[in-house]
Every structure is written in structure tokens, then in C-alpha cells.
Homo-oligomer: A and B are copies of this chain.
Amino acid sequence: MKMSQLFTRTRKEAPADEQSKNAQLLIRAGYVYKEMAGVYTFLPLGLRVIDKISSIIKSEMDRIGGVQMKNSVLQKKDAWEKTGRWDDEIVDVWFKTKLQNGTELRLAFTHEEAVTNLMKDFISSYKDLPAYPYDIRTMFRNETRAKSGLMRGREFYWKALYSFSKDEEEHNAFYEKIKQAYINIFERVGLGDKTFLTFASGGTFSKYSHEFQTVSDAGEDIIYIDYDKNLAVNKEVYTDEVLADLGLSKAELKEEKAIEVGNIFSLNTKFSEPIGLRYKNEEGKEVPVIMGSYGIGIGRLMGTIVEELSDEKGIVWPKSVAPFDLHLISLAKNEEAEDLMRELEKAGFEVLFDDREDVSAGEKFADADLMGLPFRVLVSQKSLDAGGYEIKSRSQDDTQILDKEELLDYLKKVYEMEI
């Protein structure tokens, strides 16, 4: 895509009211636009990142048997009253609205009730189980103070999978599978080294839940990490009893600030019982379905990547989620650059071509660093005289001159190694 087609621009300054590094960089680089605190418009570059992260998540959910659907935002009272979560005392982040006839509706912040209720139409026998529907969509939380940029949104992009199993054994087997899928996801988006499976408080029905916590100074959680065992404990369950139970020792644990980028819960019959989602088992007995709930905040994940993988010049996207593979810069050589763009696109690469005229080389380089695509390719009289194009990785300082064939070979090698 040519930059002239992309209508956004970089900005020298972030908005004064934006404290967090992720929002500052994403706004300055033209990825998001702030509508109000906690509500961001995803500009074309930002949407491309969201889509890349979403398809990584989708592929991991599909691989373990997940099936994508699309729930509604508007929620009516019925099912939520049965679980007690319609009550403002229990859930204080509802956005409320009304039909013209006065019927009270609210905007979904999650879908356990909705999906459990819907499943009553489809699950009646053990033959209908298991089922693993998931949804990737916008949700809403009426946060009193929305801060931290994309970390805590009033309107946020979220993946939720709900599992429906016939018994604990089937549930536990899936729980282990999705735990691994989550590990894969954080690895694939470039946060593998910094993200830890973390024991957190369970609920009425389970001893623990699991969070995935990414170590970061921008984090709002405190976790204790055993780096040898690659495990962590959330401060909320950091007691002698829990540590003994998990076979962890205080001496081996290091305290860190971290961002919760995902969580997985065993729900047992917490929702199926009150909503009445029951099935007939092999013995002909009616019993409630065993459930689990598994979330990932996609905007938050994008924000976390920016917090952790950026430098003083700007964002440094991992190849897997960058909006484009290459930042192609022309210095008064637009024709040659356009030919190269066509070749690169034909080979399957996604190219952002800075075709702006009367913008200085320095400005173009600074923009490329701020926007953070994995590679920068320069076409100039100097590069052509030297025999081709200058390529530089965003994360390294050295450059090299390659001719067209060498460039294509180099990139193919780098991107195949990645996959």
C-alpha cells in the first residue's frame, strides 16, 4: 500500500492527557485515534495489527476444536438475573440502555450467560458434547477511570471461548489443551519469553484459575515468578499454604510487575446450573453441563507488545503481528520503488511504500522507526549506484545493499525461518 492511500500521519507529540507509553506511541505512529478515555478508533495500521493478532488466536482456537460464532452486544435481563450478574452491586461496569418501549438492555462485557442460554437449544444429550464456541468481538465496560491506553478500555476487542463438557475429565483434558494454545499464542505474538502461566484465585468451584502475565513496568498486577519452573503466582494467592500446595518456595520466587494478557477459568456448573443447561448422560440421567471460560484482551495484547517491544525511536513489531512486512522508502526514485513494490508483493510480502514527495530523508527514516515495521528498504540514487537497495532490520543498526534477487532471497529466508 502506498502511504498516499493511507490517510493517517505520524505526529511529533502525543496528546497531553495520554500518560501510557502504548497509547502515546500508537497515537504518534498513526495506529489509533482517541475518541475519549478508554475508547479508541483503530486506524488502518492499527486494524491490521488487531487482525494479525486475531488470526493467530483464531488458528490456535481452531486447532483445538474451537468454532467461531458472533454473539450480540445487546443483552436482555433473563439469563443474567438467574446468575445474579444483572445486579449493579455484583457487576458495576455495565453500560445500560433501553428500547423505545422502556425495556432495559445492557451492553455485553462478557457472554457466559448469553452462550449458556443459547446452548439450551443445542445441547440435550451427551452426544451433543463437547462444544467449544468462541467469539472475537468488541465488548464494553463502564470503567470509572479508563487509563493505561489500550490496557483498560471502555470499548475493547476481546476473544472469549466457552467450553461445554460432559464431565470433569473431559473438561480437564480440554483445559490442558487450551493452556498450551495460550502458551503458543503468546509465543507467536513475540511475548513468549516474558509471559508466565500464573496461578490466581479460583472460584466457588475451582481451587485456582490461571492467568497469563507478561512482565512489564506498565503492569498493574504483582506476581511472583519461579524462573526455573517457568511458573508464577499472583499476589492474591501468594500464601505459604498455596506455595506449599504448588511445590514452590519463597526463596526461588522473584517479585515482578506484570500485565494480565489472558485468563482461563474452570466454571464447573456455576452458569449451567442456574440457567438450566442440562443434558442426559449415558445412564439417562439429567445433569448440568461442566463449563470453562477462556479470555484474551486483543487490544490489551497489542498495547503490551508496544510497551515491551519498543525503543527510544518507536515501536518494534514482531514479524508475526506487524501491519506490513516492509517499509519501502523512496528518495526521489518513486518509479524504481514502485517496480520493486510490485515484485515484493508478487512474492507475497506486504509492503508499505512511503511515496511522499517533498518529505526529507530524515523525516522518512524517523517515521519508519516510529511505525516499527520489521524491515526498511531504501531506494535512492546512492543505493542504485551501489548496486541495488539498502535493507535494514528495525531491531539492528547495520544496513546492507542487495540487488533485487538477493533481497527477495534474503526476505524469503527470514520469513520462512519465522514460520
Contacts and interface: CB of A to CB of B under 8 A. Distances in A.
Interface in A54-108: 65, 67-76, 95-101, 105, 107
The number of chain A residues touching the other chain, given as a range, is 35 or more
Interface stretch (A2-10, A240-248, A270-278, A339-347): A2-10
A128 B359 CA distance: 13
B114 A41 contact: yes
Contacts of A43: 69
Interface stretch (A136-144, A187-195, A216-224, A373-381): A136-144
B5 A74 contact: no
A47 B68 contact: yes
A311 B99 CA distance: 35
A138 B139 CA distance: 11
B114 A35 contact: yes
A69 B47 contact: yes
Q: Is the interface of A mostly helix, strand, loop or mixed?
A: mixed
B119 A67 contact: no
A238 interface: no
A95 B74 CA distance: 10
Given A1-B67, A7-B133, A119-B7, A144 B47 contact: no
Interface in A1-38: 1, 5-9, 11, 33, 35-36
A116 B113 CA distance: 38
A178 to B, nearest CB: 15
Nearest to A118: B33
Contact of A74 (B7, B76, B114, B155): B155
Contact of A142 (B99, B122, B143, B154): B99
A33 B121 contact: yes
A35 B74 contact: yes
B7 A155 contact: no
B41 A8 contact: no
Contacts of A202: none
Given A36-B76, A44-B68, 4 more contacts: A6-B67, A35-B74, A72-B155, A99-B154
Shortest 10 CB-CB contacts between residues of A and residues of B: A7-B131, A42-B70, A44-B67, A95-B97, A97-B97, A35-B72, A100-B144, A47-B70, A39-B72, A39-B74
13 contacts: A7-B67, A7-B133, A35-B72, A36-B74, A41-B114, A41-B118, A50-B70, A73-B138, A73-B155, A74-B155, A95-B97, A97-B107, A138-B138
